[in-house]
Amino acid sequence: MTRPNRASLAIAAGLLVPVLAATTIVHADEAGFLNRFEGNWSGSGQVRRNAGSSPWNVKCSVTGNPSGSGMAMGGHCRGAIIVSRAIGANLVYDPGTRSYSGTYIGSKLGPAALNGRRNGDRVDLTITWPKPVNGDTKARMSITNDGRGRLRIQVLDEIRPGGPTRTMSDLTFRRS
């Protein structure tokens, strides 16, 4: 077995430094993005119970808690006088796959799985429900935080496979 010479070690180190630096930048970039969610948020929007129902106006409040490579948000939405529902999302960023995964809470069916990627100020996620909703177990969620105290959470669902897409919820928040 031959020992590497100093020149080959220097070349290897030179190749490794940019990779490590890029990884650090990605981690710092994600941490900065996740920190945007910290604190108390209040807002309003519309929510549908199912694809055939009319939207309800709701008022919501959530608290965001970023930590390390993840983020948890939880709170409540209220519509009319009698409707109140807990909402929340727990997301973890995986730098190896550059993707997010976690859990969404807000459906009567129970927790749903979330998986997706960030695109600028928005995380685009696939929701996988524990049981069929509107003909299947998939929907889309986008969580947008512009870094200026505005947050939007939207859920879109394709009504039956191949059918039209309907906005199931569209909530806009401001930092309280």
Q: How does pLDDT run across 34-87, given as a tens digit for each residue?
A: 999 999 999 999 999 888 899 999 999 999 999 989 999 999 999 977 788 999
Instruction: Check pLDDT > 70 for residue 21.
Output: no
pLDDT value for 19:
36
**pTM of this prediction exceeds 0.85:** no
Q: How does pLDDT run across 110-126, given as a tens digit for each residue?
A: 999 999 999 999 999 99
* Contacts for 57-63: CB closer than 8 Å, 24+ residues apart: 58/83, 58/171, 60/87, 60/171, 60/173, 61/176, 62/87, 62/88, 62/173, 63/39
Give the integer Cα–Cα distance in Å for 21 and 17: 6
- Give me the domains of the chain, ranges plus CATH numbers: 33-175 (2.40.128.20)
Q: Are 68 and 42 in contact (CB under 8 A)?
A: no
State how far the alpha carbon of 154 is from the alpha carbons of 17, 107, 119, 151, in Å.
40, 14, 15, 10
The one-letter amino acid at 133: V
Instruction: Check pLDDT > 70 for residue 24.
Output: no
